[in-house]
Chains A and B, each alone.
Chain A
Amino acid sequence: MKKALKILAKIAAIGGAVYAALFAVFYFDLDGKAIFKFVEPTLVKHYDNMPRRDPLTRPYGEEPTNE
């Protein structure tokens, strides 16, 4: 019983800590800051350097060719 209570208390404590941490992330806009400063620039770099199909080579016959 005591053990179970201990486990429950531990879970509650961990849950509480996670909840508090998430609240801190929320309140201080850490999600926004992380995305803005790290995630987005990395992705943009990737997109800018991606090889892309050249639009000027797209065929344009009288019928669509589904190419």
Chain B
Amino acid sequence: MRDLKHLIYFEDLLQEAHNELVRKGKEDGNLALGYTCYFMPEVLLDLPGCFSVRLRAPRCVSPDMATYYMSGRTCHYGRSLFERALEGGFNFLDAQLATETCTVTCRFQEHLKAMPEVINNMNFKVEFSDVPFKKNENSIDHYEKQLKAHVLDFLKNNYGVDTSDETLLKTIEEHNEMCRIIREIGDFRKLDEPTITGYEFAVINLVSMTCPKYLIMDKLKETLEELKTREPDQRKTYRCKVVLAGSENDDPEFTKLIESCGALVVCDRYCYGAVEARVPIEIREGETPLRAIARHYLLTSQCTRFMEQEEMRHRKKFIAELAKEYKADGIIVASNKFCEYWSYERMIDTIVLPRDYGYPVCSIEKEYINSASGQLRTRFQAFVESIEIKKLQEASK
């Protein structure tokens, strides 16, 4: 396929959190607001005068200082973020909008609160919101209250951000525009012969989360236009299609590794790459914009921390349905080492998805930055081969 015009530019933007566009956003007088989780609605951090940055620590392979604080037995992602903070890589942040949605990212954010000197910015503050574990009305009420107090009021009282309903509505519109573009780009993955690779999509999607949106929108639109006329390769460059599900993953190289083994990643269902994360926010009749945001983020999330019985059971089906929608042949479930949510979820997915939904599953435990790529490559190659054998067997029947 023809190379995407802006891909190298996008890749460059992902080399560090404090990238060219983040710098530009700050120079324009905006507040840089950090967050780590889908449960901190990105749209609220993109209000006028602010921009959201979903924190990453690219190329952090040895978080030694953070390991002193958080030990070597916690999630590499949380530690890497703290390492980057200790190195001064997040000094551009004006505030961290925190959630206690998984233990180690919470601990990272608590460290920022306990040691504010780590972020060399006089304005820097950390504010935590409580996120419910269920999707019922009580949870939506609660979540709405939390977002009001700990995001909107926090931004208004500390930084003078305009948080009126009119502004919120406008921000939702802009956010929805971004979602529409990313989803349209993602829809090319549903084609029989997809015209975008999983790696390219991961890069584009990540850029949309880590750069000020107003500075990246044009290039994303241009990429969408480019994709509309992009032709698939004459000769198939992949051997099967897979859905990639699992825990936190902001490393497009991981997707590249999978694809280099012959499995085209056609859909993502992991933190930082969930397909449902780019569903536009719908405001229902009689709803305030904040209520709509609270409902939207709670109901769309497929996070493994939801505890209602029907939710726990439904999310396996959700992955299987994605595989069907995107015409995938198999599912790769990858969890970060020390991620407790996904260790269990991966275990059950590995059993239930093949048994009840007929999808072969490759179950992987990985690091935040994947230095052990040789071992992973072997696993992926074997998985691709097993899918091919399955296809041959089915064809011969």
- Do A and B touch each other in the complex, judged by CB within 8 A? yes
Categorize the interface residue count of chain B.
10 to 19
Instruction: Looking at the assembled complex, report how far the CB atom of B18 sits from the nearest CB atom of chain A, in whole angstroms.
Output: 45
Report if A51 contacts B (CB, 8 A).
no
Check if A60 sits within 8 Å of B309, measured CB to CB: no
A65–B397 alpha-carbon span in the complex (Å):
34
Nearest-neighbor residue (CB-CB) of A56 within chain B:
B351
Report if B4 contacts A (CB, 8 A).
no
Check if B317 sits within 8 Å of A62, measured CB to CB: yes
Check if B314 sits within 8 Å of A62, measured CB to CB: yes
A11–B196 alpha-carbon span in the complex (Å):
94
A2–B324 alpha-carbon span in the complex (Å):
96
Check if A61 sits within 8 Å of B313, measured CB to CB: yes
Instruction: Looking at the assembled complex, report how far the CB atom of B61 sits from the nearest CB atom of chain A, in whole angstroms.
Output: 37
Nearest-neighbor residue (CB-CB) of A59 within chain B:
B356
* Residues of A contacting B236 in the complex (Cβ-Cβ under 8 angstroms): none
Report if B26 contacts A (CB, 8 A).
no
Instruction: Looking at the assembled complex, report how far the CB atom of B333 sits from the nearest CB atom of chain A, in whole angstroms.
Output: 16
Interface string of B293-332 (1 = CB under 8 A from A): 0000000000000000110011011000000000000000
* Residues of A contacting B348 in the complex (Cβ-Cβ under 8 angstroms): 60
Report if B352 contacts A (CB, 8 A).
yes
Q: Which of B349-385 contact A (CB under 8 A)?
A: 351-352, 355-356
* Most chain B beta-carbon neighbours within 10 Å: one of A56, A62, A64: A62
Check if A62 sits within 8 Å of B351, measured CB to CB: no
A56–B354 alpha-carbon span in the complex (Å):
12
How many residues of A are in contact with the other chain, CB < 8 A? 6
Interface of B is mostly: helix
Nearest-neighbor residue (CB-CB) of B310 within chain A:
A62
Nearest-neighbor residue (CB-CB) of B348 within chain A:
A60
* Residues of B contacting A62 in the complex (Cβ-Cβ under 8 angstroms): 310, 313-314, 317
A62–B352 alpha-carbon span in the complex (Å):
12
Nearest-neighbor residue (CB-CB) of B351 within chain A:
A56
A62–B313 alpha-carbon span in the complex (Å):
6
Q: Which of A24-67 contact B (CB under 8 A)?
A: 56, 60-64
* Residues of A contacting B309 in the complex (Cβ-Cβ under 8 angstroms): 64
Instruction: Looking at the assembled complex, report how far the CB atom of A3 sits from the nearest CB atom of chain B, in whole angstroms.
Output: 73
Instruction: Looking at the assembled complex, report how far the CB atom of A61 sits from the nearest CB atom of chain B, in whole angstroms.
Output: 7
Instruction: Looking at the assembled complex, report how far the CB atom of A34 sits from the nearest CB atom of chain B, in whole angstroms.
Output: 40
* Residues of B contacting A60 in the complex (Cβ-Cβ under 8 angstroms): 313, 316, 348, 352, 356
* Residues of B contacting A63 in the complex (Cβ-Cβ under 8 angstroms): 310, 313
* Residues of A contacting B355 in the complex (Cβ-Cβ under 8 angstroms): 56
Q: Which of B61-98 contact A (CB under 8 A)?
A: none
A59–B314 alpha-carbon span in the complex (Å):
14
Instruction: Looking at the assembled complex, report how far the CB atom of A62 sits from the nearest CB atom of chain B, in whole angstroms.
Output: 5
* Residues of A contacting B351 in the complex (Cβ-Cβ under 8 angstroms): 56
Instruction: Looking at the assembled complex, report how far the CB atom of B198 sits from the nearest CB atom of chain A, in whole angstroms.
Output: 28
Nearest-neighbor residue (CB-CB) of B355 within chain A:
A56
* Most chain B beta-carbon neighbours within 10 Å: one of A56, A60, A61, A64: A60
A56–B185 alpha-carbon span in the complex (Å):
39
Given pairs A62-B310, A62-B317, 13 additional interface contacts (CB within 8 A): A56-B351, A56-B355, A60-B313, A60-B316, A60-B348, A60-B352, A60-B356, A61-B313, A62-B313, A62-B314, A63-B310, A63-B313, A64-B309
**Interface pairs (12), CB distance under 8 Å:** A56-B351, A56-B355, A60-B316, A60-B352, A60-B356, A61-B313, A62-B310, A62-B313, A62-B314, A63-B310, A63-B313, A64-B309
For the complex of A and B, the 9 pairs showing the least CB-CB separation, nearest first, are: A62-B313, A60-B352, A56-B351, A62-B314, A60-B356, A62-B310, A60-B313, A64-B309, A62-B317
**What is B's interface to A at a CB cutoff of 8 Å?**
309-310, 313-314, 316-317, 348, 351-352, 355-356
**What is A's interface to B at a CB cutoff of 8 Å?**
56, 60-64
